[in-house]
Amino acid sequence: MRLATLLMLASTLGFGGSWSGLLVDSKCYANEQTNVNKDATTVDRDMNAEIRYCAPDAKTKSFGVVLPDWDSLKFNSAGNAKAAELVRSDGKRSVLDITVTGTQKKDGIAVSSLIATR
pLDDT averaged over consecutive 10-residue blocks of the chain (118 residues)? 46 72 95 73 73 93 95 95 92 85 93 88
The one-letter amino acid code at 116 reads: A
Indicate whether this model's pTM tops 0.75. Answer: yes
Is 6 exposed, middle or buried, given 0-12, 13-18 or 19+ CB atoms closer than 10 A? exposed
Strand partners, 24: 64
47 φψ region: left (φ > 0), alpha (ψ -120 to 50), beta (else) = alpha
72 part of a folded domain: yes
Domain of 58 in residue numbering reads as: 14-116
Note the pLDDT of residue 36: 64
6 part of a folded domain: no
108 part of a folded domain: yes
